[in-house]
A and B are shown apart, each in its own frame.
Chain A
């Protein structure tokens, strides 16, 4: 059985559709779990093999997007999270969830140095919230979540702080060299690159490939009728569902 925990509470708002995505991908036990339940019950993480930080506006993006929820986890669940990661389990963050993982220092966590922030997601270059469909180009990477993406993937973005920045050029080089960049936007120009991310980076994973975060929303492109051009008879080659299927498959192969 694959057990998935979808975090909820404090302004997280993509929890229901994320739950649906994992269910559609075949996970048997998908739970929406309030952040406070984790904070007050440290053993809870043992029950799951997949942990997802969905999109939303945790704490209203006050003090920087993802910052406050990232700290909540960092301060109260550090040991448990470390064990969870060492056990080879999976973590996924989308949009605000990606921001949380980055600010918690779980991504990219170069040389497995977790809890140290080395990259960031800051205000879009356009200076405004962007809500539009974009196209992602897959890259050869270590990410287990994105295996088998051989064609461009179209997804919606909905964020005000999605500009990927790095502390220095070395980090950027490492990310490419170690193959930690599964997706980039297809073009560098606005709005194809909706936020001005460096090297058009839309998502990154850690060195194990098991922790993955991205700005666009795969849980909002699960079937053809999600796509804005479906009434034109357009059927995309691939949608976001495979990301969730890859994770469920990974757990089945490694934990059952």
Chain B
């Protein structure tokens, strides 16, 4: 869809004023121009904030008052009204503002603030920024704005020469849609070819079978429709609603497909991966702490008698590829709405963030419509900073993973957890049920053209025609206000059911909420940002910060008054009515009528084929590193191993709400990588919640079965390390897959998907680890022209785990000189797709394989030892193997270690590198006090365990298999090697 708008340009406009405020230094931008763009010659950068006020009745006095009291800080800033703040200078100046229709959060706040100050209600306010570049010409400045500061999809800019600068003309980015809202019908009584054309032209993302199913439905219900005054042909409202509801994003058609699967000589038919492996595993495990799984926006488990906790993880890959900042921001605040829209609503207590990007050091050409991975990283990072921090939710766990194949579509996983009282006034909080005659109420932001076709768009590969309206910008503050209000409404029992407006907007929220009873919506009722939207657009818009609520008529006044107290907009837009139909009206006219049964169950099951053939896992011949001291430091500096602390994580608020007991970075200087976070969700209990994840797309190069198995094992191991109870865990599966570019690709990727699901079933059933929620994003492919790239098949696995007593928690940093170092678990020569082989640029080798039976026993015993206070430090051994894990534990505690490799329990390892860098899973390194030696050894009696060294001195000293010292390095040097890789990403100017 294209916005047809009239853009107003002129130097002066009636009732429009421009206030400029500044001028502040922007050394960070100056630094980024040099480091990110390699552009030299910029001697200084300054920034001016610009506000455009549109409204009647602002006197000169009013404007001066606003300039002084509202817009400028009297201590450090100046302002100007209706004239440029900056005079002539040697360089170039750019002014950047949003395009029409893009959410302008600062503009919205300005309207409210002006009302407070002057009791004058503006029509609108807009925010812009001016960037002043000293020492460069207009052309260079334009490149800087385009490649660093602005995004063409959502912003416009203008650049002028400093020596002749006399200000910019005023630009009012007001949307003016010059069309009358109408409802069209679409003739589906056409050939198959034309059916596909309709699907393609309207961005419905429906295949022929699905289009035919829709056509058949409308033909067969012709008579009933006639009685309602509808024609045989569907209206655009109906067709768009069906396409949205049936999108891959919403209906998970691939996970529900009938798959013919071939593995070597074996053939089998799988009727739904979801039912067979995911739900199948959870049904089999059937843990008694499960409360609500797979049916709501987030999975819910019992935390203790009085409280339940829930979690959801979402991906927001396609929008992030188009606008890294807006995509990530919307990703996290959008995910927040899932727990908030679970049951009758949960209070949000933590966020997690996992990103997969191309290398920030990439130096090649960037294909069309893509950003440099460094810009993606920075934009996403800023989006998460703003989204998470401003929402008042601590970001407690996450990771960053790099592989060049993520440069086509970056993966952005955003997770959110919530807590709620189990029962509020005799009613379980996790249950939602709209009752007949309940009112359908939309709460929060207004509807615009933003995000229309988000659900269908994310189910397609990115190409030249991707609609720009797929980009939205969330407002964490608007949402925080709304969620504060809804929590209070819940506690006052004013909410019968709640769900969020994400993909598919109202169509999805009320369509799902009303599935059992039926619902009528009046599409002229939802408040709009601007007029001119078509009824189907109102139904599908993915404008942010909105929730849909079922409210009983008797509670409506109370609900509305409470909304007013919180300055939140709430509007009755329809009614749940017992019709079992989705009835869509516009100005009293029926614009669509879809039986709920057809809407939700009518999508034909997809038929797919999958093939998988095992790969040869033989190792190449190569020499081991000559200098392990240097080599270990190189390993520590690798992108997927190095510290993300100063560059990424210190920018997130980890501690708001006062409940973060184990933080993302631990140890003497708070700079060692914690295996998982631990929260103490209730101030009055010592019970805790561990939050962790596992991710290892590398192993997909050999076998997605082991990629998935390792990801699950890593997530569990991380939670166990800090004190999570291995018998009280819940998992969340997020699949980000590719489907390639032709049928052959699709068969291959489907085979890989089946393999991963088999592992998911095998490992979780062995671990007694129920799955409570998940999500899939299936088409992470990019193709424009000759550039084609697909992401490596990726399972991101999250775990939440009960911690019986947070006072027993364990961190990964070594604690005391003289403590004994133990390795738990066996080391094998498993080099396939490891960080070690990638460092050496070697292919082949055996992929690390999880042995679930012994692994879960090990975790249970570890947990026993934690409960008995026997473990001083415990660290997971993963990326980079034993050597990296030892170095991390040592430098985090700022004490050295003496390690003897011949003490490491290993099979088939004849070389030092095989012990140091193998990534055999399920291993943990612990340190214990010498006096606890016997107790530890007796707890782990049946397990592979060995005392491999001692905590001592200030160096990591490793004795090789032949008895010679192969590593002998100060822990501070190792730490430096680990920390410096991403230092260039910090905003600091030094």
> In the complex the two chains form, what is the Cα distance from A238 to B385 in whole Å?
31
Tell me, yes or no, whether A108 is within 8 Å of chain B by CB: no
- 11 A–B pairs (Cβ distance < 8 Å), ordered by A: A8-B484, A16-B658, A34-B566, A62-B127, A68-B70, A117-B75, A127-B988, A130-B651, A225-B680, A231-B662, A231-B810
Tell me, yes or no, whether B390 is within 8 Å of chain A by CB: yes
A-B CB proximity, top 5 nearest:
A13-B392, A17-B658, A128-B987, A120-B75, A127-B28
Question: Contacts A17-B657, A68-B113, A131-B651: A57 and B385 contacting too (C-beta < 8 A)?
Answer: no
**Candidates A56, A63, A127, A220; contact of B987 at CB < 8 Å:** A127
Tell me, yes or no, whether A29 is within 8 Å of chain B by CB: no
Tell me, yes or no, whether B116 is within 8 Å of chain A by CB: yes
Given contacts A63-B109, A64-B73, 17 further A-B pairs with CB under 8 A are A9-B566, A10-B481, A11-B392, A20-B658, A20-B683, A36-B566, A60-B105, A63-B113, A68-B113, A120-B73, A133-B670, A158-B655, A220-B656, A225-B680, A226-B658, A231-B666, A232-B811
> In the complex the two chains form, what is the Cα distance from A119 to B73 in whole Å?
10
Interface string of B827-866 (1 = CB under 8 A from A): 0000000000000000000000000000000000000000
Q: Would you call A59 and B109 a contact (CB within 8 A)?
A: yes
Q: What distance in Å separates the Cβ of B444 from its nearest Cβ neighbour in chain A?
A: 14
> Residues of B contacting A67 with CB < 8 Å?
70, 73, 113
Q: What distance in Å separates the Cβ of B352 from its nearest Cβ neighbour in chain A?
A: 16
Q: Would you call B390 and A11 a contact (CB within 8 A)?
A: yes
> Residues of A contacting B3 with CB < 8 Å?
none
> In the complex the two chains form, what is the Cα distance from A56 to B987 in whole Å?
22
Tell me, yes or no, whether A213 is within 8 Å of chain B by CB: no
> In the complex the two chains form, what is the Cα distance from A220 to B297 in whole Å?
31
The tally of residues in B whose CB lies under 8 Å from a CB in A reads: 67
> Residues of B contacting A128 with CB < 8 Å?
28, 651, 986-988
Stretch from B472-480, B545-553, B598-606, B936-944 at the A interface = B472-480
Q: Would you call B109 and A60 a contact (CB within 8 A)?
A: yes
> In the complex the two chains form, what is the Cα distance from A176 to B178 in whole Å?
63
**Residues 387-408 of B contacting A (Cβ, < 8 Å):** 389-392
Tell me, yes or no, whether A249 is within 8 Å of chain B by CB: no
Tell me, yes or no, whether A93 is within 8 Å of chain B by CB: no
What residues of chain B have their CB less than 8 Å away from a CB belonging to chain A? Answer: 24, 26-28, 69-71, 73-76, 105-106, 109-110, 112-113, 116-117, 127, 385, 389-392, 475-477, 480-481, 484, 565-567, 649-659, 661-663, 665-668, 670, 680, 683, 806-807, 809-811, 813, 815, 893, 986-989
> Residues of A contacting B480 with CB < 8 Å?
11, 13, 57
The tally of residues in A whose CB lies under 8 Å from a CB in B reads: 61
**Candidates A11, A156, A217; contact of B481 at CB < 8 Å:** A11
Q: Would you call A117 and B74 a contact (CB within 8 A)?
A: yes
> Residues of B contacting A83 with CB < 8 Å?
none
Q: Which of A59, A76, A167, A231 has the most CB of B within 10 A?
A: A231
What residues of chain A have their CB less than 8 Å away from a CB belonging to chain B? Answer: 8-14, 16-17, 20, 34, 36-37, 55-57, 59-64, 67-68, 71-72, 75-76, 103, 117-120, 122-123, 126-133, 156, 158, 165-167, 190, 217, 219-220, 222, 225-226, 228-233
**Candidates B477, B649, B661; contact of A60 at CB < 8 Å:** B477
> Residues of B contacting A132 with CB < 8 Å?
650, 670
Q: What distance in Å separates the Cβ of A74 from its nearest Cβ neighbour in chain B?
A: 8
> Residues of A contacting B481 with CB < 8 Å?
9-11
Q: Would you call B666 and A60 a contact (CB within 8 A)?
A: no
> Residues of A contacting B658 with CB < 8 Å?
14, 16-17, 20, 219-220, 222, 226
Q: What distance in Å separates the Cβ of A188 from its nearest Cβ neighbour in chain B?
A: 15
Question: Contacts A17-B658, A122-B73, A122-B76: A9 and B484 contacting too (C-beta < 8 A)?
Answer: yes
> In the complex the two chains form, what is the Cα distance from A75 to B69 in whole Å?
11
> Residues of B contacting A76 with CB < 8 Å?
116
The residue of chain B having its C-beta at the shortest distance from the C-beta of A74 within the complex is: B69
The residue of chain A having its C-beta at the shortest distance from the C-beta of B670 within the complex is: A228
Q: Would you call A68 and B116 a contact (CB within 8 A)?
A: yes
> Residues of B contacting A12 with CB < 8 Å?
392
> Residues of B contacting A8 with CB < 8 Å?
484
The residue of chain A having its C-beta at the shortest distance from the C-beta of B74 within the complex is: A117
Q: Would you call B807 and A225 a contact (CB within 8 A)?
A: yes
**Candidates B27, B809, B986; contact of A231 at CB < 8 Å:** B809
Q: Would you call A166 and B75 a contact (CB within 8 A)?
A: yes
> Residues of A contacting B683 with CB < 8 Å?
20
Q: Would you call B113 and A130 a contact (CB within 8 A)?
A: no
> Residues of B contacting A59 with CB < 8 Å?
109, 112-113, 477
> In the complex the two chains form, what is the Cα distance from A63 to B127 in whole Å?
10
Q: Would you call B655 and A34 a contact (CB within 8 A)?
A: no
The residue of chain A having its C-beta at the shortest distance from the C-beta of B806 within the complex is: A225
Q: Would you call B477 and A63 a contact (CB within 8 A)?
A: no
> Residues of A contacting B565 with CB < 8 Å?
34, 36-37
> In the complex the two chains form, what is the Cα distance from A128 to B27 in whole Å?
11
Q: What distance in Å separates the Cβ of B819 from its nearest Cβ neighbour in chain A?
A: 12
Q: What distance in Å separates the Cβ of B812 from its nearest Cβ neighbour in chain A?
A: 9
Q: Would you call B110 and A63 a contact (CB within 8 A)?
A: yes
> Residues of A contacting B815 with CB < 8 Å?
231-233
Q: Would you call A57 and B986 a contact (CB within 8 A)?
A: no
> In the complex the two chains form, what is the Cα distance from A130 to B651 in whole Å?
6
> Residues of B contacting A167 with CB < 8 Å?
74-75
Q: What distance in Å separates the Cβ of B586 from its nearest Cβ neighbour in chain A?
A: 34
Question: Contacts A20-B683, A131-B653: A71 and B24 contacting too (C-beta < 8 A)?
Answer: no
The residue of chain B having its C-beta at the shortest distance from the C-beta of A34 within the complex is: B565
> Residues of A contacting B649 with CB < 8 Å?
131
> Residues of B contacting A117 with CB < 8 Å?
73-75
Q: Would you call A16 and B657 a contact (CB within 8 A)?
A: yes
> Residues of B contacting A9 with CB < 8 Å?
481, 484, 566-567
**Candidates B112, B391, B653, B988; contact of A68 at CB < 8 Å:** B112
